[in-house]
Structure 1
Amino acid sequence: MDKTIAVVGATGTQGRAVTARLLAEGWRVRALTRDPARVRSAARPVRAEMADVDSLVAAMTGAHGVFSVQPTVGSPGTPPGFGAEDEVRWGVNVAEAARRAGVRHFVFSSVAGAGRHATEVLPVNVVSKHRVERHVADLGLPATVLRPVSFMENFTGGYALRDGAVSTGLAPDVPQQLIAVDDVAVLVATAFARPDAWIGRTEDLAGDELTPVAIAAAISAAIGRELPYEQVPVEVIRRLGEDFAHANDWLNGRGYRADVAATRRLHPGLLDLRAWLAATGAARITAFLSGGSAR
């Protein structure tokens, strides 16, 4: 088997983790990015833009596989005015390019809950990922779809750490599902290593499930500093946009509903929140709180 994987979005949170894991397992990696200078690994940087299908085709040609992930509305580093339609267009472009380049395995990172589009009103980012999933299927790509829940890494910076507290729009006593991004990377690498077992599969992924109050308590214990949980009122979130308010309402209601035990069967080394904090999370949170880097 050719050992080259083209990683789209290679300088983002998932892309960096996937690149590192693939390199560690002996794959050659082409790190596709609009800014090759940001690639700081043994991967081969390749300039490509998700808005430019031809650049993607050129970057993927000759690769065995492609890992595809797109930013969603509100993600850091997205262009001004980036919206749901842009996310879908970028995801479709990557899939079209993979088809044109003749790649033999396409792994798409979606989001848990995307398969429930027919039974409930989903948040806009979940709808966007599902639309890309449908296009991948319509193209007939030899594909694996992984649907992670929220990342534990969201709790390492200003998204959730503000004014001496853990603070989000989530109800304090409603269990929420999380997964470490490195565990998603393990499963991406597993899929590429075992195409006969993974092509054609779609898996929702979660590593832990606990309330925001319990998340704050675990973080406090790990860093040796009390960080209480404070819920951001939905009225404040609604000022940022109705879509953001609906996303929080959805998480406080039906939410992701992935199967943690099933994910652990796929990946026995799966980290729960406390294990992730002990491994890397606590150090990153401490660095952020002390004014350092959360990366």
Structure 2
Amino acid sequence: MTLTNKTVVVVGATGLQGRAVTRHLLRDGWRVRALTRDPDGAGARALARAGAEPVRARMEDVGSLTAAAGDAWGLFSVQPTVGSPGTAPDFTTEDEVRWGVNVAEAARAAGVRHLVYSSVAGADRHPGEKVPANLVSKWRIERRIAELGLPATILRPVSFMENFTGGYALRDGTLSTGVAPDTVQQLVAVDDVGAVTALAFARPAEWIGRAVSLAADELTPVQVAEAIGAALGISLPYARIPNEVIRSVSEDFAYAMRWLDEHGYRANIAATRRILPAAMDFGTWLARTGAAQISAFLDSARAAGQGAW
């Protein structure tokens, strides 16, 4: 355990990554200031019960971020991507960039000694390769962090295993995404991103100045469906969503699916395991938490009479 009286601010603390980071930091003995729009909400109350200090701040308001980061030693920054659960329908990539830059500038104004920013694998390929909009937005935030001269660590996770736990991918009795059935897709558990974040804060001399991609497994969508089906004892076929259907909703999202098919993240799984030997492969994640999360979602869908469950 890391014993410290230092405070780390976690931006987006009630979100998926924020909760994982908070959990690992508290476990290691850090003081955690959990930034949230609603300190009285259920998510914030759960963090308070775990030992964090919920503080009201909004990523569109630099002043609130700067005040909340006052006297903190470290800060974890993550922003939603277009289409992320909980984001407004009119949320754009420009909003994401503005929020990420606001957090970085607040960290500088508050004198934060170590910023850990959660980006995305492949963002650094933007200068030489056409990439999806969400990679470009995160690259722009990375560049601003560098321009500000912040003592920073950049983490670049691949797709999250948790993407397969809800309606994003589970519908009508199938696993459904826009990725081709034989495309090998790299995956990482959100909890492992939290573990690496805590490791980075615990070893600033080793981690400040580093940019690291994180991936712990790679499977085709068909293999993912088979693994989930085996873990739950159900039949779960894979059904690809046609690209033209996705394009009718979002051209950016359709291009992101094509990019995964044609290029992919290209993270080094062996390097991730050198950093975190206990990083979970997909089967381990299912056994520990994933199958239970998926089962709970399917039970809820059945109770609501949704789909073919």
Q: TM-score, with normalisation over the residues of structure 2?
A: 0.93
Please report how far the alpha carbon of residue 80 of structure 1 lies from its aligned counterpart in structure 2 after TM superposition.
3.5
Structure 1 distance, partners of 2:171, 2:267, is: 28
- Choose 33-42 or 88-97, whichever is displaced more: 33-42
2:15 is matched with which residue: 12, 16, 28?
A: 12
Alignment length, in residue pairs? 293
Counterparts of 1:1-295 in structure 2, within 5 Å, are 2-37=5-40, 38-39=43-44, 40-41=46-47, 42-291=51-300
Secondary structure of the 1:229 match is: coil
Check conservation: 1:2, 1:64, Cα contact below 8 A: no
Q: TM-score, with normalisation over the residues of structure 1?
A: 0.98
Secondary structure of the 2:222 match is: helix
- Choose 105-114 or 1-10, whichever is displaced more: 1-10
Please report how far the alpha carbon of residue 2 of structure 1 lies from its aligned counterpart in structure 2 after TM superposition.
4.4
Give unmatched runs, 5+ long, in structure 1.
none
Check conservation: 2:83, 2:89, Cα contact below 8 A: no
Check conservation: 2:66, 2:107, Cα contact below 8 A: yes
Secondary structure of the 1:36 match is: coil
Check conservation: 1:69, 1:110, Cα contact below 8 A: yes
Please report how far the alpha carbon of residue 71 of structure 1 lies from its aligned counterpart in structure 2 after TM superposition.
0.1
Structure 2 distance, partners of 1:2, 1:97, is: 22
CA pair 174-80 structure 1, distance change in 2 beyond 3 A: closer
Structure 1 distance, partners of 2:26, 2:17, is: 14
Structure 2 distance, partners of 1:72, 1:210, is: 23
Please report how far the alpha carbon of residue 201 of structure 1 lies from its aligned counterpart in structure 2 after TM superposition.
0.1
Structure 1 distance, partners of 2:170, 2:88, is: 24
Please report how far the alpha carbon of residue 183 of structure 1 lies from its aligned counterpart in structure 2 after TM superposition.
0.3
Structure 1 distance, partners of 2:62, 2:76, is: 15
Secondary structure of the 2:213 match is: strand
